[in-house]
């Protein structure tokens, strides 16, 4: 009698196949390479055996038949566990043992290459499965434990959540649907007053960092205060950079319409790298 076992993580979870299949197939090819030579014609070099493939068909019972090898689960529960292992992308261990006149002993690490099933009239699940052998770098440690896997997945989910909350790096060039609705009143005000302007193509070239800062300045009435007549020396480099990039109108004689609060925030943004080089 044959017994089929599937397991993960050194038997942390085990499936004893409840109905022994009537037969199973083991496929393995030999790696070879063929070359044509001038003196000896065609030469074939024999390489290493390729990885095995083991496949069989049977059914997962919903009924408690007397010949079952395992009764720990019902049909769909077996299928759900196999599908769960596939989703976790964990290597599994296939062990086939024999007793009596049989002389079969298979013990390989494998991946579930194919698993198809259908529901019969009595509720049993007819299935076929194909397992492809995998060559583990360290066969003594087949992979992560379930607890380790869950911890890593939790960390990945946390990272993905953080990344999804980070604003993208797109450039906002126009007052269109891409411009955040909460920023449109401020940006429109600054455009009307000539405080910000576009390039020759009328592109504003605003990043999200710049937009947020402009809105903060506006909320604190930074655009309503008196403007600076003389540019502070510590701000000259920043203002020149911002003007060169097309974020400001005016020149030193006509004035830029900047308040002290605006200048301070622009310098802070520049020091933080918001305007680039």
pLDDT digits (tens, 9 = 90+) for 39-59: 667 777 777 788 899 999 999
Domain shared by 55 and 91, yes or no: yes
Q: Is residue 204 part of a domain?
A: yes
Domain shared by 207 and 79, yes or no: no
Q: Are 196 and 165 in contact (CB under 8 A)?
A: no
Domain shared by 189 and 82, yes or no: no
Predicted confidence at residue 65, as pLDDT, reads 92
How many domains would you assign to the chain? Answer: 2
Domain shared by 157 and 206, yes or no: no
The tokens of 197 are what?
Answer: 């302007």
- 3-class DSSP assignment, residue 239: helix
Q: Is residue 210 part of a domain?
A: yes
In whole angstroms, what is the distance from residue 51 CA to residue 30 CA? Answer: 9
Domain shared by 131 and 39, yes or no: yes
Instruction: Please provide residue 53's backbone torsions phi and psi, each rounded to the nearest 5 degrees.
Output: -125, 130
Tell me whether residue 204 is exposed, middle or buried, using C-beta atoms within 10 angstroms of its C-beta: 0 to 12, 13 to 18, 19 or more: buried
Average pLDDT taken over every residue of the chain: 80
Residue range 231-247, pLDDT digits in tens: 778 888 888 888 888 77
Instruction: Please provide residue 233's backbone torsions phi and psi, each rounded to the nearest 5 degrees.
Output: -60, -35
Q: Is residue 191 part of a domain?
A: yes
**Domain limits at 48?**
2-163
Domain shared by 212 and 86, yes or no: no
In whole angstroms, what is the distance from residue 170 CA to residue 80 CA? Answer: 43
- 3-class DSSP assignment, residue 28: coil
């Amino acid at each position: 009698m044959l017994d089929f076992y599937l397991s993960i993580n050194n038997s942390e979870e085990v499936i004893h196949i409840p109905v022994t299949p009537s037969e199973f197939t083991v496929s393995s090819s030999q790696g070879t390479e063929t070359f044509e030579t001038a003196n000896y014609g065609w030469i074939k070099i024999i390489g290493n055996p390729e990885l095995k493939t083991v496949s069989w068909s049977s059914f997962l019972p919903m009924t408690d038949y007397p010949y079952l090898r395992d009764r720990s689960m019902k049909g769909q529960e077996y299928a759900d566990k196999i599908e769960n292992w596939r989703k976790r992308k964990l290597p599994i261990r296939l062990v086939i043992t024999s007793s009596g006149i049989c002389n079969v002993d298979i013990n390989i690490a494998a991946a579930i290459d194919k698993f198809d099933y259908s529901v019969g009239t009595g509720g049993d699940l007819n299935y076929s499965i194909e397992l492809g052998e995998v060559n583990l770098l360290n066969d003594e440690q087949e992979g992560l434990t379930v607890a380790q896997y869950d911890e890593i997945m939790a960390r990945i989910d946390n990272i993905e959540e953080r990344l999804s909350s980070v604003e993208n790096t797109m450039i906002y060039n126009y007052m269109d649907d891409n411009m955040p609705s909460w920023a449109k009143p401020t940006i429109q005000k600054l455009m009307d007053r000539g405080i910000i302007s576009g390039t020759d193509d009328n592109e504003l070239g605003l990043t999200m960092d710049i937009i947020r800062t402009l809105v903060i300045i506006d909320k604190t009435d930074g655009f309503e205060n008196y403007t600076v007549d003389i540019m502070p020396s510590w701000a000259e480099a920043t203002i020149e950079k911002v003007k060169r990039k097309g974020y400001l109108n005016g020149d030193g004689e006509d004035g830029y319409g900047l308040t002290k609060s605006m200048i301070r925030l622009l310098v802070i943004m520049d020091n933080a790298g918001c305007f680039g080089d």
